[in-house]
Amino acid sequence: MSKTTTTYNNKQKPQLSFWQIWNVSFGFLGVQFGFALQNANVSRILSDLGADLHSLSLFWLVAPVMGLLIQPIVGAASDRTWNKFGRRIPYLLLGSVAAAIGMILMPNAPLVVTLVPPILFGAVMLAIMDASFNVAFQPFRALVSDMVPNNQRNIGYSVQSLLINIGAVIGSLLPFILTNVVGLDNTSSSGDVAPSVIWAFYIGATVLLGSVLWTAVMTKEYAPGSYSLPELENSATSTDTKESLVKRFSGFVGLVKSMPSTMKQLALVQFFSWFALFILWVYTMPALAQHIWGIDAKWFDSQYLKQVGEVPEAILLAKGAAGDWVGILFAAYSLFAAVFSVFLSKLANTIGRKTTYSFALFAGGIGYISMYFLQDSTLTTVSFLGGQIDLPQGAVNLLIPMAGIGMAWAAILAMPYAILAGALPVKQTGVYMGIFNFTIAAPQILSGVLTGWILTTFFNNQAIYIIILAGIAMFLAAVSVYFVKDDQSS
């Protein structure tokens, strides 16, 4: 595999080989590996540490808030950065190291119980992980825009989506594999974290660091002034760094006001789709435990758990099994997304990005809502990775809707950025990609504030109904795509 180099004299970005495009995004595999572990297991960890259903979404607010604060800052900073490591890569390395530290510490919250409450420590580590993931996320998006020529943009973001989902598949499966293949315990008493989850986070931290280092070593960014990239000065000598904070903020507000119309139109699609995704990550575990395994909602109430003292072993086993199966389902939708990503570029080139995008989101809406209708408590034996496990048939049935959710996820990871990249001024790609993260963070924040209240007020803590609400939001996202203007040739 050849290194991407910078020694070209013409002003057109060179065509990249498949492996060069692969190398540019390979680190995202590890970042998503860690993010998938977080998505599939943080609700489980926080529940074990004492969070109830109403507060789960509030704890999860840490993720979008970190994205809202950090991505625009990192985007603007990386636009102005150039040193011996490059433009975007210094931030990738910094983010991956910090995220790995958070991943190692979070599942060990019970070890610091004498210093701070475990639930508080877990929330702080979630904040550190999310802040660090966001430091890495934004530069990876901008790196593809920097390195890949316009006519390869669809395949560039499709390869990135493929790698993201490969990482997500492995990361989501890991706790289940560690339990059912390696033999680690997947149960935990109140205030503890299951050993299988702890070791999954250790492994995830290692994969994260290794993959980001691969991109850093195998990709050499284009030098300042190359291929229509802006002339960049060292951040230590740039006049931009000497501007007052007020002037910088004023300039940032000006950029927000003058954002391209395509970005504004995509914001509506992003709102509905990310509102739905946030619900999926927060509430799938309790929804499965209640709707498929038949656990009463009271076993997710921290006050009730304090009253009863010791949780029955049957409840612990069922919650552990449900938590592991969430990892399988998340791996399934990531696998479907990875497969769909292979065809995504060709499909977008054939029928258009907007049609492809809308179709995938609609499939995701069907996937969400169909989860309600696949309930079946009949035990069935499933062969998996050389072993056999007994599961409710309803749990196995839920693999079907993951196909639709996976298609939506693949499109969400690729299509908005492919559409947006051609509408952005090259000099400000990084900061605008960071601003675009507002359209990801804001709907998650609103979802986090509202869904816990909706769940308790209208749905009597039955989490499956909030999943149906997410499906409706995904349908609205599919309709919203048709209001987006996309110049396919840009």
Mean pLDDT score, 238-250: 55
Q: What angle do CA 386, 391, 396 make, to 5 degrees?
A: 85
Query: What pLDDT is recorded for position 177?
Result: 86
Q: What is the signed CA dihedral for 68, 72, 77, 80, rounded to 10 degrees?
A: 180
Backbone φ and ψ of 229, nearest 5°:
-75, 150
Among 193-207, 218-232, 289-303, 342-356, whose mean pLDDT is lowest?
A: 218-232
Express as a percent the part of the chain with pLDDT over 70: 81
**Average of pLDDT values for 22-41?**
84
For residue 321, pLDDT over 50 is answered with: yes
209-227 per-position pLDDT tens digit: 898 889 888 888 777 666 5
What pLDDT score does 189 carry?
Answer: 61
Specify the higher pLDDT residue, 470 or 86: 470
Least confident of 125-139, 209-223, 467-481: 125-139
Q: Label each residue of the chain as H, E or C.
A: CCCECCCCCCCCCCCCCHHHHHHHHHHHHHHHHHHHHHHHHHHHHHHHHCCCHHHHHHHHCHHHHHHHHHHHHHHHHHHHCCECCECCHHHHHHHHHHHHHHHHHHHHHHHHCCCCCHHHHHHHHHHHHHHHHHHHHHHHHHHHHHHCCHHHHHHHHHHHHHHHHHHHHHHHHHHHHHHHHHCCCCCCCCCCCCHHHHHHHHHHHHHHHHHHHHHHHHECCCCCCHHHCCCCCCCCCCHHHHCCHHHHHHHHHHHHHCCCHHHHHHHHHHHHHHHHHHHHHHHHHHHHHHHCCCCCHHHHCHHHHHHHCCCCHHHHHHHHHHHHHHHHHHHHHHHHHHHHHHHHHHHHHHHCHHHHHHHHHHHHHHHHHHHHHHCCCCEEEEEECCEEEEEEHHHHHCCCHHHHHHHHHHHHHHHHHHHHHCCCCHHHHHHHHHHHCHHHHHHHHHHHHHHHHHHHHHCCCCCHHHHHHHHHHHHHHHHHHHHCCCCCCC
Q: What is the chain's mean pLDDT, rounded?
A: 80
Instruction: Tell me the mean pLDDT in the region 242-261.
Output: 64
The answer to whether 466 and 451 have CB atoms below 8 angstroms apart is yes
Return the higher-pLDDT residue of 116 and 30: 30
pLDDT surpassing 90 at residue 148: no
Q: What's the rounded mean pLDDT across residues 396-424?
A: 88
Residues 320, 322, 323, 327, CA torsion sign: positive
For 5, list phi and psi in degrees, rounded to 5.
-115, 175
pLDDT confidence of residue 226: 63
Q: Place domain 18-221+261-483 in its CATH homologous superfamily.
A: MFS general substrate transporter like domains (1.20.1250.20)
pLDDT value at residue 451: 92
How far is CA 55 from each of CA 5, 108, 257, rounded to the nearest angstrom? 49, 21, 35
- The band of 231, judged by pLDDT with boundaries at 50, 70 and 90, is very low
pTM of the shown model = 0.72
Q: Which of 109, 108, 102, 98 is nearest to 126 (CA)?
A: 102
